[in-house]
Chain A
Amino acid sequence: MKRVVLILLSGALALCGCGGASSSSSTSAGAGNGHTTITVWEGYTSIETKAIEALAAEFNATHPHITVDVQFSGNSDYALQKVLAAIAGGKPPDISYLYGSWAPNIATNPQVVTLNKLIAEDPTFDWNDFWPSERKVATVGGKIVGVPALVDNLALVYNKQLFAKAGLALPTAAWTWSDFENAAIKLTDTAAKQFGWAYVNDASEDTVWRYWAMLWQAGGAILSPDGKHAAFDSPAGVKALTVLQSLAKQHAIYLDNGSDNYLGLFTSGHIGMLWTGPWDLATIAASKVSYGVQTLPGDANHQTISGPDNWVMFDNGAAHRQASWTFLKWLTSPSVDLKWSLMTGDLPIRESVTKLPEYARFTSRYPGIAVWVKNLANATQARPVTTAYPKISTAIGQAVQSVLLGKSTPEQALSQAAQQVNGILAVPE
């Protein structure tokens, strides 16, 4: 009896002990011989997993002094929480994939490596070769906190069969909002449960960023130039939201509840047009729908919005910093990035990739992708780079949703949201 107790007790103690011991076992081995192992956290799945592993293997084979250990850290939605826990535990990864929207928050952490000096000292890197939207998102108050990892943007994807059935001409690059509205209404057939357009109506950032594209198209701005006041409650803002209001009233919009039903409904011919990004291309291309891709319709201009993500470096000493920088430079160099794009269908993150001779293989392998690449030139603005952005987004999400549900007018909704946003911005960070 007692023996059992003692064994249990010692077992429990051993259990406690091993938690402390294991955390120190993965520190870099062999610092003396100039070899460094760096840890990279990513949240890729399927094709992208294979691609990152293939590229890491290639890097390791060509860089004898560095070993890159790529680790899947789970869904990227939770990457920030995990990285923060790792920082608190004193052992952050050397590099992590993090959403661009987190940049302002992550920039306040002292362990994040600011890249300005590394970039300035390295003429081969060419920071300005990255797309403007990527650079804006990675730069927080002048500090560059990440290397672009992914870029996308919204374009118009349409179902050619439904257009033909409705007797409509296909969208052109010169399409105006009224062309778009007209088509959306003609493509709508309530009895057949067919909608002209779909809009994600869960008041999340998915709801918000499509509205920002429209706001910019009408010549509006999100915040005042000094970033201290709301500016979206302008005639341009009202005009953009009125388009949503009018289409929703005519039941021309399928209001998606946030579980991305729109994609299945598009591929089954229930939705005529989508504003979406290259991430949906593989599913659409695999379906029976004959689709086309076009830049977004416009008002004063044809701007789109882009949601770039970053590779963020964490400071684990000079050797790790140097090795991480070497890896990121290699990974985001034009020729390697083209390999990545060819494997995954992701858009090239550098403009010079599109000028490589091999680039034609990318556009022919992924029909329609060329429009999204060209559309990157229309992603000239970025969302406000501020830690207050999640709150601003929530206020706008509510405003757009209240209009889509017919609970308020564009004017009311925007002036209420502007009040909230001004209140949020008045609080010092």
Chain B
Amino acid sequence: MSAHAQTRPGRAASSGRPGRVKRLLASEHLAGWAFVAPAVILIAVFALIPIGWSLLLSLQANNLIAPPHYVGLANYKTLTKDAAFRSAIGHTLIYTAVFVPVSVVGALGLAVALNRKIRGIRLYRLAVFVPLVTSTVATGIIFLWLLDPTFGLVNYLLSLVGLPQQQFLQDPNEALYCIAAMTIWGWLGFDVIIYLAALQGIPTDLLEAAEIDGASRWATFRSVVVPLLGPATLFLVVWSTINALQLFDEIYVTTRGGPLGSTTVIVYYLYQQAFQFFNAGYGAAIAYVLFLAVLLVTLLQLWIGRRRVYYSS
């Protein structure tokens, strides 16, 4: 078929086959589809087919080794009674509740601070952005050493100011928050860039109008800047939430779900089931539950966003 397409002369109109084919070839639709075809094919092969396949997988007892068999909704039924899955949900929710507000509010503050014309501003912006382009593995190793209870820099600094030594990633009560701190540090740059772009899109005449009306800087920020950043905030909240619910890499390179399962979040639990315990079908069921949860949360956020966010035209 590809050979046929290549030998066809460029002037398709003169090929003597009028009608549907000709009209199709001449239409804008075909050109459009042809342009997106490579991407569509890649997405289909590497995303859509696996999504369909994993739905099938979630209805099977499948260890990826022996021939699978169909078990209906048994995997999903087991999930409802799985205490480890419930605690994984709990850890994910706690993490999300920390990660999303801290990174969004923190990024807003940083973006405002960086949205100024001062000496070396480019350097500061770069400093905020660098963690984002650092690989997760490198970040993980850096934090493992910084937070090492015996040889870590953080405990050394704590000892200098007379604060008690901490176990950090080795303490079941602290580990999840350490992970949150690490991921916030890692992702903050992204949120800051979005906010910076949005801040620079705010028309200066509105800010001047507020100033002329006698608004204080805080009042201007609260009543003019923050509402105008609404679309950016909505995007960041939705995106950060999805990101937080799918936390995996940072856990994998640092705590591996521990200590005592305290950082076993949903996706790490999924990984454990599918690739350590060889319950691929069960893992796929977890993936589907997570998928539906993410979809629901996102729809809810967008629905709230539509009613609350102000879009300037």
Which residues in A have some Cβ–Cβ distance to B below 8 Å? Answer: 1-3, 5-17, 81, 84, 88, 105-106, 108-110, 193, 201-204, 254-255, 257-259, 261, 265, 387, 390-391, 394, 398, 401-402, 405, 407
Stretch of B113-121, B232-240, B254-262 at the chain-chain interface: B254-262
Question: B residues 157-171 with Cβ under 8 Å of A?
Answer: 167, 169-171
Return A96 CB to nearest CB of chain B, in Å: 13
In the complex the two chains form, what is the Cα distance from A50 to B150 in whole Å?
Answer: 39
What chain A residues lie within 8 Å of B256 (beta carbons)?
Answer: 202-204, 258
In the complex the two chains form, what is the Cα distance from A108 to B278 in whole Å?
Answer: 12
A6 near B259 (CB under 8 angstroms)?
no
What chain B residues lie within 8 Å of A8 (beta carbons)?
Answer: 34-35, 37-38
What chain B residues lie within 8 Å of A106 (beta carbons)?
Answer: 65
In the complex the two chains form, what is the Cα distance from A193 to B35 in whole Å?
Answer: 63
Question: B residues 112-156 with Cβ under 8 Å of A?
Answer: 141, 144, 148-151
What is the count of residue pairs linking A and B with beta-carbon distances less than 8 angstroms? 107
Return B305 CB to nearest CB of chain A, in Å: 37
A84 near B65 (CB under 8 angstroms)?
yes
B1 within 8 A of A: yes
B63 near A9 (CB under 8 angstroms)?
no
What chain A residues lie within 8 Å of B37 (beta carbons)?
Answer: 8-9, 12
What chain A residues lie within 8 Å of B70 (beta carbons)?
Answer: none
16 contacts between A and B (CB under 8 A): A1-B31, A5-B31, A5-B34, A8-B35, A12-B38, A13-B5, A88-B64, A105-B65, A109-B65, A203-B256, A255-B149, A257-B144, A257-B255, A261-B151, A394-B272, A398-B260
Return A252 CB to nearest CB of chain B, in Å: 13
Number of interface residues of B (CB under 8 A): 45
Return A38 CB to nearest CB of chain B, in Å: 22
Question: B residues 244-293 with Cβ under 8 Å of A?
Answer: 254-261, 272, 275-278
B66 near A108 (CB under 8 angstroms)?
yes
In the complex the two chains form, what is the Cα distance from A81 to B67 in whole Å?
Answer: 16
B31 near A2 (CB under 8 angstroms)?
yes
Please judge, given known A-B contacts A5-B31, A9-B5, A193-B151, whether A405 and B65 are in contact too, CB under 8 Å. Answer: no
B169 near A257 (CB under 8 angstroms)?
yes
In the complex the two chains form, what is the Cα distance from A391 to B1 in whole Å?
Answer: 51
Return A148 CB to nearest CB of chain B, in Å: 21
What chain A residues lie within 8 Å of B35 (beta carbons)?
Answer: 5, 8
B71 within 8 A of A: no
What chain B residues lie within 8 Å of A204 (beta carbons)?
Answer: 256
Please judge, given known A-B contacts A12-B38, A109-B66, whether A193 and B277 are in contact too, CB under 8 Å. Answer: no
A2 near B25 (CB under 8 angstroms)?
yes
Return B199 CB to nearest CB of chain A, in Å: 39
What chain B residues lie within 8 Å of A2 (beta carbons)?
Answer: 10, 12, 25, 31
A-B contacts besides A203-B260, A387-B278, A401-B259, 7 pairs, CB < 8 Å: A3-B10, A5-B30, A10-B3, A12-B37, A13-B2, A14-B2, A405-B259
Find the B residue at minimum CB distance from A106. Answer: B65
Return B306 CB to nearest CB of chain A, in Å: 37
What chain A residues lie within 8 Å of B3 (beta carbons)?
Answer: 10
B47-85 interface mask toward A, CB cutoff 8 Å, 1 = contact, 0 = none? 000000000000000011111000000000000000000
Find the B residue at minimum CB distance from A6. Answer: B5
In the complex the two chains form, what is the Cα distance from A407 to B64 in whole Å?
Answer: 37
Please judge, given known A-B contacts A9-B5, A10-B2, A81-B275, whether A261 and B65 are in contact too, CB under 8 Å. Answer: no
Find the A residue at minimum CB distance from B256. Answer: A202
B260 near A401 (CB under 8 angstroms)?
yes
B172 near A6 (CB under 8 angstroms)?
no
Return B49 CB to nearest CB of chain A, in Å: 13
B216 within 8 A of A: no
What chain A residues lie within 8 Å of B297 (beta carbons)?
Answer: none
What chain A residues lie within 8 Å of B169 (beta carbons)?
Answer: 257
Find the B residue at minimum CB distance from A193. Answer: B150
What chain B residues lie within 8 Å of A88 (beta carbons)?
Answer: 64
What chain A residues lie within 8 Å of B31 (beta carbons)?
Answer: 1-2, 5
B24-50 interface mask toward A, CB cutoff 8 Å, 1 = contact, 0 = none? 010000110011011001000000000
In the complex the two chains form, what is the Cα distance from A197 to B47 in whole Å?
Answer: 48
Return B42 CB to nearest CB of chain A, in Å: 9
A259 near B144 (CB under 8 angstroms)?
yes
In the complex the two chains form, what is the Cα distance from A319 to B259 in whole Å?
Answer: 50
A9 near B34 (CB under 8 angstroms)?
yes
